[in-house]
Structure 1
């Protein structure tokens, strides 16, 4: 049993496909299968079930996957810490987040961090949802994930940074644009621009609508908040979105953001594997973002 065997096995369990892992690793499907078979021979038990559309871990496989994933994440983290100790201020910080989060929450912090640590490497990996950010953080050599706070994720620590109130984005000539606030009963008449079903913010919003007894109609869907706001500005519907710092200011004269105070705020912030094991450079960047966000509130 080797570390490579365990890495490949964990990747197979996450992907549910031998061929997908083979493509990612630029090797043959047979080579991937050999890693799994070697583990099965050494453990004496079947670890995956093979189906026409892929593979799923058995009960024994899930036990090994959980233990191996934790061990690999801890080892990768330790190796990164050792590397950063050697490199000092010339180390690296790797962040995973949504496509628009850097502009909304981190632009000032990125500039400040670069001035403070000019030799450091700052890398961003884009994901489409908080769930995929969690998965990337657990399975890749990453330091930080900027996510929508929600639920308990095994092996991940979350720290809220900002609470974002919800607003209704509408064209300035829309009848609702003149309101000082939007009430729950007003939402029943909007043409809702819906967020992706797999997003945490969509789940929060759906739960809030259900708690208020609100049913909205929708004929338009988008992948992110920015696109929803732009479509609202074009008059294609109404977007219920968090009050994003990057959209404040006079740059969009044809757009109005009307508060929806009945909806509970959306919490966003950092996720890491272990705060006490975070590399000094990564902690410095995380703290810089927290300080920057505090000035935006």
Structure 2
């Protein structure tokens, strides 16, 4: 069993097609098949089933894929860092998150980190759901993911940073803007600007609606947090968003943010494959964001072991 065998097997598993992998790797289909067969001989189990339109993994194949994916990703990360040491490069920290997160939670940490490490690059991969962020972590394409936290995730360690209550953002001229708080009875009639369909925040919010005993209002639009706030400013609808650190809350702002105390707050923070395996630079950046995030609007989330 070689690393090349495992890399080819991962590619076959993910594409479900031997010829596609052969073209991508500039090899013959027979050569690709031999890599899989060698693994099957060593494990004593069939790893894929051949079908008319490709291949599908067996139970043994799924087990090997999960183990190989984490191992190859960790090894690739180590080889990248060794190459940086060998070549005298400053290195890089790779982060995945939504674009609004950078503005609301990371701006100060980025400036501080760049001041201390001008030769280190911060590379951001935008993702529109927590699931996509976790996929990028599992594949080794990023070091850190900033996500809405929830249930345990296989092969992923989570660190909560800040707990964010929900607010209703409305135009300053809207009748709801004069309320001290928004109650469940108010929510049924709002013009709801929904979050993207696959986002964790939308799932949490709609779970809250069900818990309070009514169906989510029919959306008048779909947008990320910042765009939803802008649409509320334009009078298009009402935005239910977490109480973000940089919400426009000045007295002369064209919008108002009214608390919704009956909705369960969400927790946001870091997800990694393994804290102990992070580079010192990635750990330092995560700690900087954690420190600035816990000083922002919202409540510090309960601590979890690394």
Structure-2 residue corresponding to 1:63: 63
Moved over 6 A (4+): 17-23, 51-54
Checking the alignment, whether the CA contact within 8 Å between 1:196 and 1:221 is kept in structure 2 is no
In structure 2, how many angstroms separate the alpha carbons of the residues matched to 1:57 and 1:230?
46
Matched, 1:2 2:2: yes
Instruction: Using the TM superposition, name which of 284-293 and 220-229 deviates more.
Output: 220-229
> Is residue 149 from structure 1 mapped to residue 146 from structure 2 by the alignment?
no
Q: Give runs of aligned pairs for residues 111-260 of structure 1, distance below 5 A.
A: 111-250=111-250, 253-260=253-260
SS in 2 for 1:72: helix
Conservation of the 8 A alpha-carbon contact between 1:46 and 1:61: yes
Partners of 2:212 and 2:141 in 1: CA distance = 41
The 1:16/1:175 distance shift into structure 2, 3 A limit, reads: farther
Aligned-pair distance for 1:222? 2.2
Judging by fraction of residues, say which structure has more helix.
1
In 2, Cα distance between the equivalents of 1:204 and 1:54? 37
2:8 and 2:36 in contact (8 A); partners too: yes
> 2:290 corresponds to which residue?
290
Give the stretch that moved more between structures: 209-218 or 274-283: 209-218
Quickly say closer, same or farther: Cα 1:57–1:99, change in 2 above 3 A: farther
| Structure 1 residue 4: Cα displacement | 3.3
Q: Is the 1:89–1:281 contact (alpha carbons within 8 Å) kept by the matching residues of 2?
A: no
**Structure-2 change in CA distance of 1:83 and 1:250 (3 Å):** farther
Change (3 A) 1:274 1:228: same
Residue 97 of structure 2 is matched in structure 1 by 97
Of 203-212 and 260-269, deviating more is 203-212
Of the structure 1 ranges 267-276 and 28-37, higher mean CA displacement relative to structure 2 is found in: 28-37
Residues 232 and 27 from structure 1, CA distance in 2 versus in 1: closer, same or farther, beyond 3 angstroms?
Answer: farther
Question: What is the distance in 2 between the residues matched to 1:32 and 1:97?
Answer: 38
Q: CA deviation at 1:286?
A: 0.7
Q: Give the direction of change, closer, same or farther, for the CA distance of 1:200–1:77 in structure 2 (3 Å limit).
A: same
SS at match of 1:119: coil
User: Is the contact made by 2:195 and 2:222 (CA closer than 8 Å) also made in structure 1?
Assistant: yes
Residue pairs, 1:31-70, within 5 angstroms: 34=33, 36=36, 39-40=39-40, 43=43, 45-49=45-49, 56-70=56-70
Q: 1:192 to 1:18 in 2, by over 3 A?
A: farther
Per-residue CA shift, 1:56-111, capped at 9, x if unaligned? 42212111111111211332343345446557882211111112211111011101
Structure 1 gap segments, 5+ residues each: none
Q: For residues 4 and 216 of structure 1, do their structure 2 counterparts lie closer, same or farther at Cα, with a shift above 3 Å needed?
A: same
Larger Rg: 2
CA-CA distance at 1:40 after TM superposition? 4.7
Give the secondary-structure state (helix, strand or coil) at the position aligned to 1:228. Answer: helix
What do you get for the CA RMSD once the two structures are aligned? 2.9
| Aligned CA distance change for structure 1 residues 203 and 29 (closer, same or farther; 3 Å) | farther
Q: Which residue is equivalent to 2:275?
A: 275
Query: How far off is 1:18 after superposition?
Result: 6.4
